[in-house]
Amino acid sequence: MDTTQPTTTLSACGRDHACSFCPVAPSCPLDKSDHDRALVRARLSRVGQVVVVLSNKGGVGKSTVSANLAAGLAARGLRVGVADADIHGPNQSRFFGLVGARVRLSAAGLETRTFAADGIAHPLRVGSLAFLMEDDATPIVWRDSYKHDFIHHLLGSFDWGDLDALVVDMPPGTGNEMITLCDVLDDGGPPAAAVLVTTPQAVAQMDSLKAARVCAERALPIIGAVENMAGVVCPHCSGSFHVFPDAGLDAALAVEGVGKIAAIPLAPELAIGSDSGRPAVLDHPDGAVARAFAPLIEAVAGWAADDPAAAVAGGAR
Ligand SMILES: Nc1ncnc2c1ncn2[C@@H]1O[C@H](COP(=O)(O)OP(=O)(O)OP(=O)(O)O)[C@@H](O)[C@H]1O
Ligand code: SF4
Ligand SMILES: [Mg+2]
């Protein structure tokens, strides 16, 4: 008996990974033209909903929001995956304490690595390019065609299993990765929606909100926007102040037809949680950060797969 074969396969050939990873590819006589696409479709058919966390701007907190959103959804009992779509700066391995972890390839695909914590019934599954690199310091210099392939490998070759929600942490920008992801989702994928992340500053808004227009062009509903780094609470006197000037974010969002669903403070526990590999919403469930994330987690969890319109209250199409 061939124990490298999964008991129930998603692919016609029995190998649930991309042809480019396949040890028998050089001698494989099969028609490979539709293999990778069919595999992505089969994988996504086992995912309840896809949540795309994006912004046109770098460094505004997409990965931080993705990790804490995913952890918050998992703490509510959902089966959650985090797909790290950032090729140049894959951070989710660090945010979930998986730095240095590597994955094996079997006929079932690439292993996901898991994050378990008290209060999470189903360990989170994480898929990232970081698990495939020789070492964590390896810089990636890929042409756009490889970036296109990577999105397919991320969604199709990682063995996501059955998930209620797959959170996709996007790189900055609305280029190749975003277009490829939208194409994949349009190709019979599960219900999908976006969460837009921005900081209050005018320069961040200007860039971040471009992503809203791309979502509108691709008919990807936006569940809502997250204002990150929205003020600081002083740990000594509990007074609050703003680091970034208020540049009228609410009004700018209204122009795009997007509602703000959460305002996350600039908080040391978020930065510490990212570095230490434990999302802050889990470690301080009653703290200001968890309270700030609660409406976002609520909105995404409540995003009805069969009635997406109900979930985009205040959001745009
Ligand atoms: N609200 C916050 N409070 C404190 N630190 C934060 C907060 N949001 C993000 N950070 C920190 O800021 C840095 C950038 O955040 P993050 O990596 O999430 O941004 P990003 O948008 O994903 O960046 P990139 O565009 O490079 O992918 C990280 O070090 C993170 O820990
Ligand atoms: S090369 Fe592709 S089609 Fe052929 S066995 Fe491998 S994964 Fe399957
Ligand atoms: Mg990031």
What is the model's pLDDT at position 315? 39
Nearest ligand 2 atom, CA 32: 3
Q: Chunk the chain into consecutive blocks of 10 residues (it has 317) and report each block's average pLDDT, rounded to whole numbers.
A: 64 94 94 94 96 92 97 96 93 95 93 95 95 75 73 95 97 89 94 94 77 93 94 80 81 90 94 95 90 96 61 38
Kindly identify the ligand whose nearest atom is closest to the C-alpha of 173.
1
Q: Which residues of 179-205 are buried (b: 16+ CB within 10 A; e: fewer)?
A: bbbbebbeeebbbbbbbbbbbbbeebb
CA of 186 to the centre of ligand 2 (A): 25
Pairing, β 260-264 against β 222-228: parallel
Instruction: Give, using CA atoms, the residue closest to atom 2 of ligand 2.
Output: 19
Rg of the chain (C-alpha set):
19
Specify the CATH superfamily of domain 36-311.
P-loop containing nucleotide triphosphate hydrolases (3.40.50.300)
Percent share of the chain, pLDDT over 90 = 66
What is the model's pLDDT at position 141? 63
Indicate whether residue 271 lines ligand 2 (CB < 6 A).
no
Question: Which H/E stretch holds residue 167?
Answer: strand 163-169
* Residues 228, 204: Cα–Cα separation, whole Å: 11
* Residues 224, 203: Cα–Cα separation, whole Å: 20
Q: Is 67 helix (H, G, I), strand (E, B) or coil?
A: helix
Pairing, β 80-84 against β 113-115: unpaired
Indicate whether residue 180 lines ligand 1 (CB < 6 A).
no
Nearest ligand 1 atom, CA 91: 17
Is the entire prediction scored with pTM above 0.75?
Answer: yes
pLDDT in tens, 235-259: 788 777 888 777 788 888 988 899 9
CA of 64 to the centre of ligand 3 (A): 7
Strand partners, 307: none
The structural domains of the chain, with segments of one domain joined by +, span 36-311
| 8 Å CB contact between 173 and 86 | no
